Structure 1
Amino acid sequence: METMSVQTSGLVAAVVGWVATILTCALPMWRVTNCLGSNNVGTQSYSDGLWVTCSNDGTGQSQCRYYNSMLEITPDLLIARPVVVIALIAAFIGIIISIVRGTFSSCMDGDRSNKGAYMSSSGSLFIMASILILVAVSFTASNIINNTYTPTGPEAVSREVGAAIYIGFIAFALLLAGGVTMCRVGTRYPQDSYAKNYKGVKTCDSAGYPMKDYV
Protein backbone atom coordinates (compact mmCIF):
# COMPACT_ATOMS: atom_id res chain seq x y z
CA MET A 1 0.00 0.00 0.00
CA GLU A 2 2.84 2.38 0.85
CA THR A 3 4.57 1.65 -2.44
CA MET A 4 1.34 2.28 -4.33
CA SER A 5 0.81 5.67 -2.66
CA VAL A 6 4.39 6.75 -3.38
CA GLN A 7 3.99 5.58 -6.97
CA THR A 8 0.76 7.55 -7.36
CA SER A 9 2.41 10.67 -5.93
CA GLY A 10 5.28 10.38 -8.39
CA LEU A 11 2.92 9.90 -11.32
CA VAL A 12 0.79 12.89 -10.31
CA ALA A 13 3.89 15.08 -10.02
CA ALA A 14 5.05 13.95 -13.44
CA VAL A 15 1.65 14.61 -15.04
CA VAL A 16 1.47 18.11 -13.53
CA GLY A 17 5.02 18.72 -14.74
CA TRP A 18 4.03 17.57 -18.21
CA VAL A 19 1.09 20.00 -18.23
CA ALA A 20 3.43 22.78 -17.09
CA THR A 21 5.74 21.86 -19.97
CA ILE A 22 2.84 22.24 -22.39
CA LEU A 23 2.18 25.72 -21.01
CA THR A 24 5.85 26.58 -21.32
CA CYS A 25 5.82 25.47 -24.94
CA ALA A 26 2.59 27.26 -25.85
CA LEU A 27 2.79 30.58 -24.00
CA PRO A 28 4.27 33.46 -26.03
CA MET A 29 6.01 34.87 -22.94
CA TRP A 30 9.56 33.56 -22.99
CA ARG A 31 11.12 36.99 -23.42
CA VAL A 32 9.45 40.34 -22.70
CA THR A 33 11.01 43.41 -24.33
CA ASN A 34 10.05 46.93 -23.20
CA CYS A 35 10.94 49.93 -25.32
CA LEU A 36 11.55 52.76 -22.86
CA GLY A 37 11.13 56.07 -24.64
CA SER A 38 11.10 59.66 -23.39
CA ASN A 39 7.29 59.83 -23.47
CA ASN A 40 4.93 57.26 -21.98
CA VAL A 41 2.59 57.47 -24.96
CA GLY A 42 5.05 55.78 -27.27
CA THR A 43 6.01 53.03 -24.85
CA GLN A 44 5.67 49.60 -26.40
CA SER A 45 6.36 46.08 -25.21
CA TYR A 46 6.92 42.85 -27.07
CA SER A 47 6.73 39.27 -25.87
CA ASP A 48 8.33 36.44 -27.78
CA GLY A 49 7.52 32.76 -27.53
CA LEU A 50 8.62 29.63 -29.32
CA TRP A 51 5.96 29.91 -32.00
CA VAL A 52 4.44 33.42 -31.93
CA THR A 53 5.39 36.98 -31.04
CA CYS A 54 3.04 39.55 -29.54
CA SER A 55 3.14 43.34 -29.37
CA ASN A 56 1.46 45.69 -26.92
CA ASP A 57 1.12 49.36 -27.84
CA GLY A 58 0.69 50.52 -24.24
CA THR A 59 -3.10 50.98 -24.43
CA GLY A 60 -3.87 47.42 -23.37
CA GLN A 61 -4.35 46.09 -26.88
CA SER A 62 -2.06 43.33 -28.04
CA GLN A 63 -1.61 41.56 -31.34
CA CYS A 64 0.05 38.19 -31.84
CA ARG A 65 1.34 36.63 -35.03
CA TYR A 66 3.40 33.65 -36.09
CA TYR A 67 6.98 34.21 -37.08
CA ASN A 68 7.22 35.03 -40.77
CA SER A 69 10.71 33.64 -41.08
CA MET A 70 13.18 31.58 -39.08
CA LEU A 71 15.48 34.60 -39.16
CA GLU A 72 13.09 36.42 -36.80
CA ILE A 73 13.70 33.88 -34.05
CA THR A 74 16.71 34.36 -31.82
CA PRO A 75 19.15 31.40 -31.56
CA ASP A 76 18.16 30.58 -27.98
CA LEU A 77 14.49 30.25 -28.85
CA LEU A 78 15.35 28.39 -32.03
CA ILE A 79 17.27 25.79 -30.03
CA ALA A 80 14.57 25.63 -27.36
CA ARG A 81 11.92 24.62 -29.91
CA PRO A 82 13.05 21.01 -30.59
CA VAL A 83 14.36 20.56 -27.05
CA VAL A 84 10.98 21.36 -25.47
CA VAL A 85 9.12 19.23 -28.03
CA ILE A 86 11.38 16.25 -27.29
CA ALA A 87 10.81 16.80 -23.56
CA LEU A 88 7.04 16.75 -24.12
CA ILE A 89 7.22 13.50 -26.10
CA ALA A 90 9.51 11.82 -23.56
CA ALA A 91 7.28 12.77 -20.63
CA PHE A 92 4.16 11.63 -22.49
CA ILE A 93 5.69 8.22 -23.24
CA GLY A 94 6.69 7.92 -19.58
CA ILE A 95 3.13 8.65 -18.48
CA ILE A 96 1.73 6.03 -20.87
CA ILE A 97 4.18 3.40 -19.61
CA SER A 98 3.31 4.21 -16.00
CA ILE A 99 -0.44 3.97 -16.59
CA VAL A 100 -0.50 0.74 -18.61
CA ARG A 101 2.33 -1.01 -16.77
CA GLY A 102 -0.18 -3.47 -15.27
CA THR A 103 -1.27 -4.57 -18.74
CA PHE A 104 2.33 -5.04 -19.83
CA SER A 105 3.26 -7.02 -16.74
CA SER A 106 0.20 -9.28 -17.03
CA CYS A 107 1.39 -10.25 -20.50
CA MET A 108 4.65 -11.30 -18.89
CA ASP A 109 3.00 -13.80 -16.49
CA GLY A 110 2.62 -11.18 -13.78
CA ASP A 111 6.34 -11.05 -12.95
CA ARG A 112 6.81 -8.27 -10.39
CA SER A 113 10.34 -7.63 -11.61
CA ASN A 114 8.84 -6.61 -14.96
CA LYS A 115 6.69 -4.04 -13.17
CA GLY A 116 9.82 -2.63 -11.58
CA ALA A 117 11.52 -2.41 -14.98
CA TYR A 118 8.56 -0.52 -16.46
CA MET A 119 8.47 1.88 -13.50
CA SER A 120 12.20 2.53 -13.77
CA SER A 121 11.86 3.13 -17.51
CA SER A 122 9.10 5.70 -17.04
CA GLY A 123 11.10 7.37 -14.28
CA SER A 124 14.13 7.62 -16.55
CA LEU A 125 12.00 9.26 -19.25
CA PHE A 126 10.70 11.80 -16.73
CA ILE A 127 14.23 12.63 -15.63
CA MET A 128 15.36 13.01 -19.24
CA ALA A 129 12.42 15.33 -19.95
CA SER A 130 13.24 17.43 -16.86
CA ILE A 131 16.86 17.84 -17.96
CA LEU A 132 15.79 18.89 -21.45
CA ILE A 133 13.33 21.49 -20.22
CA LEU A 134 15.95 22.80 -17.78
CA VAL A 135 18.48 23.22 -20.59
CA ALA A 136 15.96 25.09 -22.75
CA VAL A 137 14.75 27.58 -20.15
CA SER A 138 18.19 28.09 -18.57
CA PHE A 139 19.83 28.90 -21.89
CA THR A 140 17.14 31.43 -22.76
CA ALA A 141 17.08 32.97 -19.28
CA SER A 142 20.87 33.34 -19.34
CA ASN A 143 20.75 35.22 -22.65
CA ILE A 144 17.99 37.49 -21.38
CA ILE A 145 19.83 38.30 -18.15
CA ASN A 146 23.07 39.03 -20.01
CA ASN A 147 21.19 41.50 -22.24
CA THR A 148 18.85 42.99 -19.66
CA TYR A 149 19.43 46.58 -20.68
CA THR A 150 20.65 47.66 -24.10
CA PRO A 151 20.80 51.37 -25.05
CA THR A 152 19.66 52.08 -28.60
CA GLY A 153 19.99 55.81 -29.38
CA PRO A 154 17.28 58.04 -27.91
CA GLU A 155 15.39 55.04 -26.55
CA ALA A 156 16.44 52.05 -24.51
CA VAL A 157 15.39 48.43 -24.64
CA SER A 158 14.79 46.51 -21.43
CA ARG A 159 14.49 42.73 -21.65
CA GLU A 160 12.86 40.64 -18.93
CA VAL A 161 12.37 36.96 -18.27
CA GLY A 162 8.84 35.95 -19.24
CA ALA A 163 6.35 33.90 -17.28
CA ALA A 164 6.91 30.85 -19.51
CA ILE A 165 10.49 30.60 -18.24
CA TYR A 166 9.34 30.44 -14.62
CA ILE A 167 6.72 27.83 -15.50
CA GLY A 168 9.49 25.87 -17.21
CA PHE A 169 11.54 25.79 -14.00
CA ILE A 170 8.46 24.53 -12.14
CA ALA A 171 7.97 21.85 -14.80
CA PHE A 172 11.61 20.82 -14.35
CA ALA A 173 11.20 20.40 -10.59
CA LEU A 174 7.97 18.40 -10.91
CA LEU A 175 9.27 16.11 -13.66
CA LEU A 176 12.50 15.50 -11.77
CA ALA A 177 10.63 14.70 -8.56
CA GLY A 178 8.27 12.36 -10.40
CA GLY A 179 11.13 10.65 -12.22
CA VAL A 180 13.21 10.06 -9.09
CA THR A 181 10.15 8.75 -7.25
CA MET A 182 9.24 6.32 -10.04
CA CYS A 183 12.82 5.05 -10.25
CA ARG A 184 12.90 4.44 -6.49
CA VAL A 185 9.57 2.63 -6.65
CA GLY A 186 10.86 0.47 -9.51
CA THR A 187 13.83 -0.73 -7.46
CA ARG A 188 11.55 -1.86 -4.61
CA TYR A 189 9.90 -4.62 -6.62
CA PRO A 190 11.47 -7.99 -5.69
CA GLN A 191 13.21 -10.17 -8.20
CA ASP A 192 11.11 -13.34 -8.38
CA SER A 193 13.94 -15.55 -9.56
CA TYR A 194 13.01 -18.31 -7.10
CA ALA A 195 9.84 -19.00 -9.08
CA LYS A 196 11.88 -19.92 -12.12
CA ASN A 197 14.08 -22.35 -10.16
CA TYR A 198 11.14 -24.11 -8.55
CA LYS A 199 10.70 -27.74 -9.60
CA GLY A 200 7.47 -29.67 -9.37
CA VAL A 201 7.17 -32.69 -7.03
CA LYS A 202 6.20 -36.04 -8.46
CA THR A 203 2.90 -37.42 -7.19
CA CYS A 204 3.17 -40.85 -5.54
CA ASP A 205 0.60 -43.35 -4.39
CA SER A 206 0.36 -44.84 -0.90
CA ALA A 207 3.02 -47.46 -1.71
CA GLY A 208 5.53 -44.79 -2.62
CA TYR A 209 5.67 -45.45 -6.37
CA PRO A 210 5.41 -42.58 -8.82
CA MET A 211 1.97 -42.34 -10.41
CA LYS A 212 3.55 -42.02 -13.86
CA ASP A 213 4.48 -45.78 -13.69
CA TYR A 214 0.79 -46.67 -13.79
CA VAL A 215 -1.20 -46.70 -17.00
Structure 2
Amino acid sequence: MVQGVSEIAAMCVGLVGLIGVAATTGMPMWKVTAFIEENIIVMETRWEGLWMNCYRQANIRMQCKVYDSLLFLPPELQAARGLMCCSLALSGIGLVVALAGMRCMSCFRGNQHAKTVILMVAGGMQFTACICVFIPVSWTGHVIIRDFYNPLLIDAQRRELGEALYIGWVTGAFLFASALLFLCRRMPADKGSFDVYNPPNLLSYRPTQGKPTLMSVLSPPYGVKCNDQGKYNCL
Protein backbone atom coordinates (compact mmCIF):
# COMPACT_ATOMS: atom_id res chain seq x y z
CA MET A 1 0.00 0.00 0.00
CA VAL A 2 2.76 2.41 0.97
CA GLN A 3 4.81 1.56 -2.10
CA GLY A 4 1.80 2.08 -4.36
CA VAL A 5 1.19 5.53 -2.90
CA SER A 6 4.88 6.43 -3.27
CA GLU A 7 4.83 5.36 -6.93
CA ILE A 8 1.82 7.56 -7.70
CA ALA A 9 3.40 10.47 -5.80
CA ALA A 10 6.66 10.02 -7.71
CA MET A 11 4.79 10.07 -11.03
CA CYS A 12 2.88 13.24 -10.10
CA VAL A 13 6.01 15.03 -8.87
CA GLY A 14 7.94 13.90 -11.95
CA LEU A 15 5.17 15.17 -14.22
CA VAL A 16 5.33 18.58 -12.55
CA GLY A 17 9.10 18.54 -13.05
CA LEU A 18 8.69 17.66 -16.73
CA ILE A 19 6.33 20.60 -17.24
CA GLY A 20 8.78 22.85 -15.41
CA VAL A 21 11.67 21.75 -17.62
CA ALA A 22 9.65 22.48 -20.76
CA ALA A 23 8.66 25.90 -19.43
CA THR A 24 12.22 26.78 -18.41
CA THR A 25 13.59 25.72 -21.78
CA GLY A 26 11.11 27.76 -23.80
CA MET A 27 10.89 30.92 -21.70
CA PRO A 28 13.02 33.89 -22.85
CA MET A 29 13.36 35.31 -19.31
CA TRP A 30 16.82 33.96 -18.51
CA LYS A 31 18.52 37.37 -18.44
CA VAL A 32 16.59 40.59 -17.74
CA THR A 33 17.67 44.21 -18.16
CA ALA A 34 18.92 45.68 -14.90
CA PHE A 35 17.66 49.12 -13.83
CA ILE A 36 20.26 50.48 -11.46
CA GLU A 37 20.02 54.25 -11.72
CA GLU A 38 17.58 56.40 -9.80
CA ASN A 39 15.32 56.92 -12.81
CA ILE A 40 12.19 54.82 -12.16
CA ILE A 41 10.64 55.46 -15.57
CA VAL A 42 11.21 52.27 -17.52
CA MET A 43 10.90 52.79 -21.26
CA GLU A 44 12.32 49.51 -22.50
CA THR A 45 12.81 46.03 -21.08
CA ARG A 46 14.94 43.33 -22.66
CA TRP A 47 14.87 39.57 -22.05
CA GLU A 48 17.43 37.07 -23.26
CA GLY A 49 16.64 33.36 -23.45
CA LEU A 50 18.00 30.17 -24.97
CA TRP A 51 16.26 30.56 -28.31
CA MET A 52 15.34 34.25 -28.69
CA ASN A 53 15.60 37.71 -27.20
CA CYS A 54 12.58 39.91 -26.61
CA TYR A 55 11.99 43.65 -26.25
CA ARG A 56 9.08 45.38 -24.67
CA GLN A 57 8.54 49.14 -24.70
CA ALA A 58 5.92 51.21 -22.90
CA ASN A 59 2.39 50.64 -24.25
CA ILE A 60 3.77 48.38 -27.00
CA ARG A 61 3.45 44.64 -27.31
CA MET A 62 6.43 42.37 -26.76
CA GLN A 63 8.54 41.72 -29.85
CA CYS A 64 10.79 38.65 -30.03
CA LYS A 65 13.50 37.68 -32.47
CA VAL A 66 15.08 34.26 -32.81
CA TYR A 67 18.86 34.13 -32.67
CA ASP A 68 20.39 34.10 -36.11
CA SER A 69 23.41 32.02 -35.13
CA LEU A 70 24.22 29.61 -32.31
CA LEU A 71 27.81 30.84 -32.16
CA PHE A 72 26.57 34.32 -31.35
CA LEU A 73 25.38 33.15 -27.92
CA PRO A 74 27.65 33.25 -24.85
CA PRO A 75 29.11 29.90 -23.71
CA GLU A 76 26.72 29.43 -20.79
CA LEU A 77 23.67 29.72 -23.05
CA GLN A 78 25.16 27.40 -25.65
CA ALA A 79 25.71 24.72 -23.01
CA ALA A 80 22.30 25.41 -21.50
CA ARG A 81 20.58 24.58 -24.78
CA GLY A 82 21.98 21.07 -24.94
CA LEU A 83 21.63 20.31 -21.25
CA MET A 84 18.03 21.49 -21.03
CA CYS A 85 17.08 19.43 -24.09
CA CYS A 86 18.78 16.39 -22.53
CA SER A 87 16.91 17.00 -19.28
CA LEU A 88 13.59 17.24 -21.11
CA ALA A 89 14.23 13.96 -22.95
CA LEU A 90 15.47 12.08 -19.87
CA SER A 91 12.55 13.21 -17.73
CA GLY A 92 9.98 12.25 -20.35
CA ILE A 93 11.53 8.84 -21.08
CA GLY A 94 11.95 8.19 -17.35
CA LEU A 95 8.24 8.70 -16.71
CA VAL A 96 7.34 6.38 -19.60
CA VAL A 97 9.70 3.70 -18.24
CA ALA A 98 8.25 4.13 -14.74
CA LEU A 99 4.76 3.33 -16.05
CA ALA A 100 5.88 -0.24 -16.82
CA GLY A 101 7.11 -0.72 -13.25
CA MET A 102 4.06 0.51 -11.37
CA ARG A 103 1.96 -2.00 -9.45
CA CYS A 104 -1.25 -0.93 -11.15
CA MET A 105 0.10 -1.82 -14.61
CA SER A 106 -0.13 -5.31 -16.11
CA CYS A 107 3.46 -5.36 -17.38
CA PHE A 108 5.62 -7.96 -15.57
CA ARG A 109 2.74 -8.82 -13.26
CA GLY A 110 3.82 -11.23 -10.56
CA ASN A 111 7.50 -10.31 -10.89
CA GLN A 112 8.14 -7.69 -8.22
CA HIS A 113 11.90 -7.88 -8.71
CA ALA A 114 11.62 -6.74 -12.35
CA LYS A 115 9.19 -3.96 -11.42
CA THR A 116 11.54 -2.70 -8.71
CA VAL A 117 14.49 -2.66 -11.11
CA ILE A 118 12.45 -0.72 -13.69
CA LEU A 119 11.44 1.89 -11.12
CA MET A 120 15.04 2.28 -9.98
CA VAL A 121 16.14 2.81 -13.59
CA ALA A 122 13.45 5.47 -13.95
CA GLY A 123 14.69 7.10 -10.74
CA GLY A 124 18.22 7.21 -12.12
CA MET A 125 16.97 8.92 -15.26
CA GLN A 126 15.07 11.47 -13.18
CA PHE A 127 18.18 12.17 -11.11
CA THR A 128 20.24 12.69 -14.27
CA ALA A 129 17.58 15.07 -15.58
CA CYS A 130 17.79 16.96 -12.28
CA ILE A 131 21.55 17.43 -12.70
CA CYS A 132 21.07 18.55 -16.31
CA VAL A 133 18.73 21.29 -15.05
CA PHE A 134 20.82 22.51 -12.13
CA ILE A 135 24.04 22.89 -14.13
CA PRO A 136 22.88 25.42 -16.80
CA VAL A 137 20.61 27.36 -14.44
CA SER A 138 23.28 27.73 -11.77
CA TRP A 139 25.99 28.50 -14.34
CA THR A 140 23.89 31.22 -15.96
CA GLY A 141 23.04 32.71 -12.56
CA HIS A 142 26.71 32.77 -11.61
CA VAL A 143 27.64 34.58 -14.83
CA ILE A 144 24.90 37.17 -14.32
CA ILE A 145 25.99 37.92 -10.74
CA ARG A 146 29.66 38.07 -11.75
CA ASP A 147 28.98 40.52 -14.58
CA PHE A 148 26.69 42.61 -12.41
CA TYR A 149 29.54 43.43 -10.03
CA ASN A 150 32.14 43.79 -12.78
CA PRO A 151 33.38 47.42 -12.69
CA LEU A 152 34.51 47.26 -16.32
CA LEU A 153 30.94 46.96 -17.63
CA ILE A 154 28.58 49.88 -18.02
CA ASP A 155 25.09 49.85 -16.54
CA ALA A 156 23.46 49.06 -19.89
CA GLN A 157 25.44 45.80 -20.12
CA ARG A 158 24.45 44.49 -16.72
CA ARG A 159 21.66 41.95 -16.37
CA GLU A 160 19.55 40.50 -13.55
CA LEU A 161 18.26 37.01 -12.81
CA GLY A 162 15.19 36.23 -14.86
CA GLU A 163 12.06 34.30 -13.90
CA ALA A 164 13.16 31.25 -15.90
CA LEU A 165 16.13 30.71 -13.57
CA TYR A 166 13.91 30.57 -10.48
CA ILE A 167 11.54 28.17 -12.22
CA GLY A 168 14.55 26.05 -13.18
CA TRP A 169 15.75 25.77 -9.59
CA VAL A 170 12.29 24.76 -8.39
CA THR A 171 12.01 22.28 -11.27
CA GLY A 172 15.32 20.68 -10.30
CA ALA A 173 14.00 20.23 -6.76
CA PHE A 174 10.87 18.49 -8.08
CA LEU A 175 12.95 16.15 -10.25
CA PHE A 176 15.21 15.35 -7.29
CA ALA A 177 12.19 14.51 -5.12
CA SER A 178 10.78 12.29 -7.86
CA ALA A 179 14.11 10.47 -8.19
CA LEU A 180 14.23 9.83 -4.43
CA LEU A 181 10.70 8.40 -4.42
CA PHE A 182 11.61 6.03 -7.26
CA LEU A 183 14.95 4.95 -5.80
CA CYS A 184 14.06 4.56 -2.11
CA ARG A 185 12.51 1.09 -2.14
CA ARG A 186 13.42 -2.37 -0.90
CA MET A 187 14.63 -4.96 -3.37
CA PRO A 188 12.54 -8.17 -3.01
CA ALA A 189 14.42 -11.35 -2.17
CA ASP A 190 12.58 -13.46 -4.76
CA LYS A 191 13.77 -12.56 -8.24
CA GLY A 192 10.76 -14.20 -9.85
CA SER A 193 10.70 -15.73 -13.30
CA PHE A 194 10.16 -14.37 -16.79
CA ASP A 195 8.81 -17.75 -18.07
CA VAL A 196 5.38 -17.54 -19.66
CA TYR A 197 4.75 -21.34 -19.47
CA ASN A 198 5.78 -23.45 -16.51
CA PRO A 199 5.90 -27.19 -17.42
CA PRO A 200 4.42 -29.56 -14.83
CA ASN A 201 6.68 -31.65 -12.65
CA LEU A 202 6.51 -35.09 -14.20
CA LEU A 203 8.40 -36.71 -11.34
CA SER A 204 5.60 -35.94 -8.92
CA TYR A 205 2.95 -37.72 -11.05
CA ARG A 206 0.74 -40.14 -9.15
CA PRO A 207 -1.78 -42.43 -10.89
CA THR A 208 -5.46 -42.07 -10.03
CA GLN A 209 -7.04 -44.88 -8.06
CA GLY A 210 -9.30 -47.15 -10.11
CA LYS A 211 -7.82 -46.27 -13.51
CA PRO A 212 -5.41 -48.51 -15.39
CA THR A 213 -1.90 -47.21 -15.81
CA LEU A 214 0.37 -47.50 -18.78
CA MET A 215 2.48 -50.20 -17.12
CA SER A 216 -0.56 -52.29 -16.25
CA VAL A 217 -1.81 -52.20 -19.85
CA LEU A 218 1.53 -53.25 -21.34
CA SER A 219 2.23 -55.99 -18.77
CA PRO A 220 1.13 -59.58 -19.62
CA PRO A 221 -2.03 -60.96 -18.00
CA TYR A 222 -1.91 -62.95 -14.80
CA GLY A 223 -0.73 -66.50 -15.19
CA VAL A 224 1.13 -65.84 -18.43
CA LYS A 225 4.80 -65.19 -18.81
CA CYS A 226 7.01 -64.38 -21.77
CA ASN A 227 9.56 -66.78 -23.14
CA ASP A 228 12.87 -65.83 -24.69
CA GLN A 229 11.25 -65.18 -28.09
CA GLY A 230 8.84 -62.60 -26.59
CA LYS A 231 5.76 -64.87 -26.89
CA TYR A 232 3.28 -65.68 -24.12
CA ASN A 233 3.38 -69.16 -22.61
CA CYS A 234 1.10 -70.58 -19.95
CA LEU A 235 2.60 -71.51 -16.62
| TM-score, with structure 2 as normaliser | 0.76
Deviation at 1:73, TM superposition (A): 1.5
Paired residue for 1:163?
163
**One of 190, 193, 197 as aligned partner of 1:192:** 190
Paired residue for 1:145?
145
Greater relative CO, 1 or 2 (CA 8 Å, sep 6+) = 1
Deviations 1:150-199 (A, max 9, x none): 6656x5443101000000001100001101110113xx241324779xx9
Paired residue for 1:7?
7
In the alignment, is the contact (CA less than 8 A) between 2:44 and 2:58 conserved in 1? Answer: yes
Deviation at 1:203, TM superposition (A): 2.9
Cα distance in 1 for residues equivalent to 2:51 and 2:39 = 31
Q: Secondary structure at the match of 2:108?
A: helix
Paired residue for 1:57?
57
Give unpaired runs (5+ residues) of structure 1. Answer: none
Cα distance in 1 for residues equivalent to 2:121 and 2:53 = 37
Q: What one-letter code is carried by the residue in structure 2 that aligns with 1:105?
A: F
Q: Secondary structure at the match of 2:46?
A: strand
Cα distance in 1 for residues equivalent to 2:160 and 2:42 = 19
| TM-score, with structure 1 as normaliser | 0.82
Q: What one-letter code is carried by the residue in structure 1 that aligns with 2:77?
A: L
Kindly name which structure, 1 or 2, has the bigger radius of gyration based on alpha carbons.
2
Q: Secondary structure at the match of 1:65?
A: strand
* Closer/same/farther in 2, CA of residues 183 and 42 from structure 1, 3 Å limit: closer
Tell me the matched-pair count: 205
Quote the sequence identity (%).
25
> Would you say 1:48 and 2:48 are equivalent positions?
yes
Q: Secondary structure at the match of 1:53?
A: strand
In the alignment, is the contact (CA less than 8 A) between 1:35 and 1:44 conserved in 2? Answer: no
Aligned residues: CA RMSD = 2.9
Paired residue for 2:108?
105
In the alignment, is the contact (CA less than 8 A) between 1:119 and 1:182 conserved in 2? Answer: yes
Deviation at 1:99, TM superposition (A): 1.6
